[in-house]
Chains A and B, each alone.
Chain A
Amino acid sequence: MAERKVTVGSRVGLHARPASMLVSTAAAQPVPVKIGMEGGRALDARSILSVLTLKAKYGDTVVISAEGEGAETALDAVAAVIEADHDAAENGAAG
């Protein structure tokens, strides 16, 4: 099983748009991706309600995991979304 620790980069935490993007990205992967708080239960990363109820804030560490062929690539894609500061990227694009 592939596992990775990732730091939440979005200023609003895993809420709102960042949460939706994470869920959509996880759903697009060929293998199921799980997500949990460090030391907590691993939940389905394709479930918006599970992701929201993690209550992961900016700077928190979350653990993502996947199994099977393509697991590493799937984790790369999901980690990139979690680590990104979506707000900063948007402000840059707008301004």
Chain B
Amino acid sequence: MSGDRAGAVLQGVAASPGLAVGPVARLGTPPVLPAAEPAVSDGAAEGERALAALGRVADEFEARSAAVAGTAIGREASDVLAATALMARDPAIADSVTALTGAGRAAAWAVTEAFGEYRALLLDAGGYLAERVSDLDDVRARAVALLLGVPMPGVPRLPHPYVLVAEDLAPADTATLDPERVLAFVTTRGGPTSHSAILAKSLGIPAVVGCPAADLAEGVEVAVDGSAGTVTVAPDAALVAQVRERSAARAARAAAASGPGRTADGHRVPLLANAGAAPDVLRALDQGAEGVGLLRTEFLFLDRRTAPTRAEQEDAYAAVCAALPGKRLVIRTLDAGADKPLPFATLADEPNPALGIRGWRTSWPYPDLLDTQLAAIAAAAGQGSAEVWVMAPMVATAAEAAVFARLARGHGLAKVGVMVEVPSAALHAARLLAEVDFASIGTNDLSQYTFAADRMCADLADLLDPWQPALLRLVELTAAAGAAAGKPVGVCGDAGGDPLLGVVLVGLGVSSLSMAGGALGESRATLAEWPLERCREAARAALSAASPAAARAAVREVAR
């Protein structure tokens, strides 16, 4: 296979900066039963084999349950894992499997059929029970993998660090990922703003997406350059040494910077973190975040059949508030639709979901969803000392901003804002800011809608480059409106996490930068080298450039 040739360089799309060297471990896919079921001579022995496999799966879940029980977020995860272990040990399943193998069925087929019966029952029941179907499927897939002698599905459990190679990573895959072991991600699909890329940035590990890595064999050593978007197969000793040296130097520089974000001449720029749940927040604080500039609340809504209750949401927000005493916490209301469909908040049959009912627009057909969420946020905000700001995604007009502000203030929320992700919002930033207290620019969606380029499409990476001068022009317009109104305008898209681009954004008048926790150290170090006037000079140079590459080159020139 060409992909395995020593020294071969696979070119993908840069998704999270950094360098790493390590052996490939592939994400296991759920096992598929072969077309032909083998004949069984000893039904009793086959039954024992099936039960032994289920027992091993149960042991594994019990061990995982015990491992997370003591952690801050562990209680609920531990309960779910313990309940999943009980499914693997279920005597009703065991009876059914034994009966099937006794009748001559092969072990893997018997297990599949026995679980299938309960799967249908749970699915029909809906609600909480239907949500257990994925746990049941996981148990079955693991037992079947053991019985067929094929790799276990999901993230590999290896004793050594590795480079994770997958087609793409789903949130369920990454939930069980051990960040100590994963050196880098390489995916064959996905664009620079896919889930894998966002997670890699938050962990501060390199990632290359849209990479022709399908042929990479398990265990082959690769060097990953997350800034250049390259994967080098079986790198020579000189390259390995170089990667290790550069990666250590990068880490040392980021670690050396500390304290609040500021320019070389002391202009304050709060450096905040983007977070998806309480564990992200704790990690980001360790990484030096001054607060949370974007709390994505989708984590409460995904993988469910019904919306979370007010009390459930309040508990989750209160847990995040408690982690941020006296610090800023910007909560974004539910951003459903398009790439994050929810059964209870997505309209079927939208011809083009990215341009349909998504973001704040979800509250038009489902007003109660937003009302419940705002009530839960307000209640949580009243409990701790976190400085809670709330903002709506995908607001397009000043009239929408006014409606959202009225709703949020009606719940007693003091600091209300909007995200600027649609070009119309940037063009009319002054009018929107007349209605609200702050704005936050989501550069990923703003790119997508300004350049009419799908975020998930790897072939359009150049159009989605946050250094595109037209995108920077919209940032400038919004920041200028903020300065005129005396209201903060932050950036919470991926652009904020590119250290040099952060300098440009500050020069354009952006008042805070929110980014994946892993990017904070380098951004702080870079910003501290630039006086504000030079940031403005860099911004002017980037705005006048003809292309993203020319903008980068022009800013590097200013840096000299």
Q: Are B122 and A48 in contact (CB under 8 A)?
A: no
Q: Are B82 and A20 in contact (CB under 8 A)?
A: yes
In the complex, what residues of A have CB within 8 A of residue B132's CB? 52
In the complex, what residues of A have CB within 8 A of residue B121's CB? 49, 53
Chain A 26-83 residues near chain B, CB threshold 8 A? 43-44, 46-50, 52-53, 55
Contact of A55 among B83, B118, B125, B136 (CB under 8 A): B125
Q: Are A53 and B128 in contact (CB under 8 A)?
A: no
In the complex, what residues of B have CB within 8 A of residue A17's CB? 79, 83
Q: Are B92 and A44 in contact (CB under 8 A)?
A: yes
Q: Are B90 and A16 in contact (CB under 8 A)?
A: no
Using A15-B128, A16-B83 as known contacts, say yes or no to A52 and B122 having CB atoms under 8 A apart: yes
CB within 8 Å: A-B pair count: 47
Contact of A19 among B83, B91, B93, B118 (CB under 8 A): B83
Interface membership of chain B positions 499-522, coded 1 if the CB is closer than 8 angstroms to chain A and 0 otherwise = 000000000000000000000000
Chain B 87-112 residues near chain A, CB threshold 8 A? 87, 90-93
Interface membership of chain B positions 60-98, coded 1 if the CB is closer than 8 angstroms to chain A and 0 otherwise = 000000000000000000010011001100111100000
In the complex, what residues of B have CB within 8 A of residue A49's CB? 87, 90, 92-93, 118, 121-122, 136
Closest 7 CB pairs of A and B: A47-B92, A48-B86, A49-B118, A20-B83, A53-B121, A47-B90, A49-B90
A7 within 8 A of B: no
Using A16-B79, A16-B83, A19-B83 as known contacts, say yes or no to A47 and B125 having CB atoms under 8 A apart: no
Using A16-B83, A16-B128, A19-B83 as known contacts, say yes or no to A53 and B122 having CB atoms under 8 A apart: yes
In the complex, what residues of A have CB within 8 A of residue B125's CB? 53, 55
Q: Are A23 and B118 in contact (CB under 8 A)?
A: no
Nearest-Cβ distance from residue B362 to partner chain A, whole angstroms: 27
Chain A: number of interface residues, binned into ranges? 10 to 19
In the complex, what residues of A have CB within 8 A of residue B546's CB? none
In the complex, what residues of B have CB within 8 A of residue A19's CB? 83
By beta carbon, the residue of chain A nearest B93 is A49
Can you list 11 contacts pairing A with B, beta carbon distance less than 8 Å?
A: A12-B128, A15-B128, A20-B83, A23-B86, A24-B86, A46-B91, A48-B83, A49-B121, A52-B122, A52-B132, A53-B122
